[in-house]
Structure 1
Amino acid sequence: MAQTILITGASSGIGKVTAKHFQAQGWNVIATMRSPDKEEELTELDNVLVTRLDVTDEASIADAVAAGIARFGQIDVLLNNAGYGAYGPLEAFPMERIQRQFDTNVIGLLAVTKGVLPHMRANGSGTIVNISSIGGQMTFPLGTLYHGTKFAVEGLSEALHYELAAAGIKIKIVEPGMIATDFGGRSFDFVNDEAMTEYQPVVQALFGAWGSPEMTSRASQPQVVADVIWQAVTDGTDTLRYRAGADAVELLDNRKALDDATFIVGLKAQLGLDKL
C-alpha cells in the first residue's frame, strides 16, 4: 500500500517540488495551499489530491486532513512547509504584521500538527517534518521576526521529538540555506521606514550583500531541499536535524565551532556591516 504525505504550502517552491518528488516515488500526496483553484500542474498528476489549507484557519486544516484520509485512507507523513519571511527594522513593523508572521510560521505549524496528531497516534506511527532554516540556528540583521519564528520551530520540534516518541511518531527538522525560490517575492514581507535614518545603512548593506553574485551563486535549487526531506522521511533513523544546501553546512558548522563574538564579527564582514 502506497504511503501518503500531506504538504502545506505546496503551491510553489520547496512545497511544490517536494510534492512532485514524492509523487514520482509512488507516494500519495495531499498537496495543500490557500488557493487550490489556481493550481494547474499538480492537479494533473496521479495520486495527488490538491485541496485548500490555510494554516491560520483551523476549519480548513480539519477539512484538509479529513479529505486526505477519505481519499487515501491514512496520512503517514506531515510536511510543515508553509511560511514566509518578515524582514525589516522591528520598530517599523505594525503589530498586526508582527502577529501575522508568528501566526503563520509558528501558531499555524502547531495547529496543523495538532490536526494530524490524533490520526497518527491512533495508528501508532507517523513522521512530522518541520521546515526550519539556517535562520533557526543563526541570524541576519533585520530578521528579528523571521528568526524569532524559526528559533521557535527548532525548540518546539526538539521538545516534540521527546514527547511523541512514545506514540511512535518521529519529528524531523530540515534546515535549508539560501534557496532559489520566490522567497524574495510573495514569500517575503519587507517593511522599512526611511524616516528612521539610523537603520538605513544596515538596510542598504544587507540588500547589497544578498543581491551580490557571490551570495546568489550559493543558492541551492528547491530540489536540494526535496531530496533532504526524502532522506529525513525514509532513512529509518531517529536523526532530528538535517541541513539542506552547501551554504547551510558551512554556516552552521561555523556557528557551532565559533564563539558569539568571533562568528558575529565574521558575518558582519561578509555582509559589509563592518564598515558602518
Structure 2
Amino acid sequence: MAKRILITGAGRRLGKVLAEHYLAQGWFVVAHYNSACELAEHNNLSCVQADLSRRDDVQRLCDELPSFSQFDAVIHNASCFIPDTSASDTLQHFELHYRVHVESPAVITAALGPLWSDQAAMICISDIYADIPNQRFSAYCASKAALQNWSLSMAQRLKGLVRVNVIQPGPIQFLPEHDDAYRQKVLSQSLVGKELGYGAIVKACDYLLAADAVTGSVMRVDGGRFVANRYDQTFTD
C-alpha cells in the first residue's frame, strides 16, 4: 500500500509543489486547500476543501480523515500572511492568524490520534519571523511563534508514536509582485545570496520525514538569513 500524507494549504505555491513531489514519489496525497486548487487530477490524489479560519470547516475536514485509513505523514503548511495595516479589526485579524496557524493544526492533529501509522512523522511550516519579530506583521509573527512552540510540545506528547519537527523558511521563493529592488534587498540579507526556490523546502521535508532519529527540532531553510550580520544591514560606513 502506498504511504499516505496529508498536506494542508496544498492548492497553490509551496503546498502544491510538495503535493506534486510526493505524488511523484508514489505517495497517496490528501491535499487540503482553501479557495483555489491548481493540482492536476491524479489517481493517488484526493483534494479536500476547507477554510481553516472556520471551525465548522475544520471539523468537516477532520470528519473526512478516517475515510483515508492511516497516515504516515502530515505537513501543516497552510498559512495566511496579512500585514497589520490591512486589518480593520485588530481582534479579528489576530484571531484569523491564530485559527489558521495554531488552532486548526491542533484540532486536525487531535483528530489524527487513532490514524497514525507506525513510524509516522509530522512537519509544521513556521517562519524565521517566529524568532525575528517584524512589526508590520505582528499577528502573523505571533501566530507562527505559537505554531512553533505548540509543535515542540507535540514532539513531547507524541514521543514514540510520531516524530514532530519544524521548518522555518526564509527568503525562498519570491512572488510576482516582488520587484527587483525588493528582491535585491532581501537577498542582501542572505548568506547564500540567491533565490533557492520551493525545492529547498521539499528537500528539508524529505530529510525530516526519513530521519528517524530527529524529532523536536527546528530547521531553518533561509539561506542563512537568520544569522546574517544585521548590524551591517543597518549601519554603513
Q: Counterparts in 2 of 1:79-158, with a 5 A limit?
A: 79-88=75-84, 94-120=90-116, 123=117, 125-158=119-152
In structure 2, what is the equivalent of residue 5 of structure 1? 5
- Give the deviation of 1:3 after TM superposition: 0.7
Match of 1:78 among 74, 77, 87: 74
CA-based RMSD of the aligned residues comes to 3.0
In structure 2, what is the equivalent of residue 251 of structure 1? 225
State the AA in 1 paired with 2:171: M
- Give the deviation of 1:232 after TM superposition: 0.9
State the AA in 2 paired with 1:30: V
- Give the deviation of 1:226 after TM superposition: 1.6
- Give the deviation of 1:143 after TM superposition: 2.7
SS of the aligned residue for 1:142 comes to: helix
Spell out, residue by residue over 1:203-251, the C-alpha distance to the aligned partner (whole angstroms, 9 max, x if none).
xxxx9997142425643311211221121112222242222242xxx23
Show structure 1 runs of 5+ residues with no match.
Answer: 186-206, 255-265
State the AA in 1 paired with 2:2: A
User: 2:126·2:147 contact (CA, 8 Å) conserved in 1?
Assistant: yes
- Give the deviation of 1:124 after TM superposition: 5.5
- Higher Cα radius of gyration: 1
- Give the deviation of 1:65 after TM superposition: 4.4
SS of the aligned residue for 1:158 comes to: helix
Counterparts of 1:15 and 1:269, CA distance in 2 = 34
How many residues align? The count is 230
Counterparts of 1:56 and 1:214, CA distance in 2 = 33
In structure 2, what is the equivalent of residue 169 of structure 1? 162
In structure 2, what is the equivalent of residue 39 of structure 1? 37
State the AA in 2 paired with 1:161: A
- Give the deviation of 1:153 after TM superposition: 1.5
Match of 1:234 among 204, 210, 226: 210
State the AA in 2 paired with 1:28: F
Counterparts of 2:86 and 2:13, CA distance in 1 = 27
User: 1:136·1:147 contact (CA, 8 Å) conserved in 2?
Assistant: yes
Whether 1:213 aligns to 2:210 is no
Show structure 2 runs of 5+ residues with no match.
Answer: 188-192
Spell out, residue by residue over 1:72-120, the C-alpha distance to the aligned partner (whole angstroms, 9 max, x if none).
4321211111112233469976322222122222222222222222322
Counterparts of 1:19 and 1:58, CA distance in 2 = 24
Match of 2:230 among 267, 270, 275: 267
User: 2:11·2:38 contact (CA, 8 Å) conserved in 1?
Assistant: no
- Give the deviation of 1:67 after TM superposition: 3.7
TM-score w.r.t. length of structure 2? 0.82
- Give the deviation of 1:154 after TM superposition: 1.7
User: 2:72·2:118 contact (CA, 8 Å) conserved in 1?
Assistant: no
Q: Which has the higher contact order (CA 8 A, sep 6+)?
A: 1
Counterparts of 1:40 and 1:129, CA distance in 2 = 22
- Bigger share in helix: 1
State the AA in 2 paired with 1:133: D
TM-score w.r.t. length of structure 1? 0.72
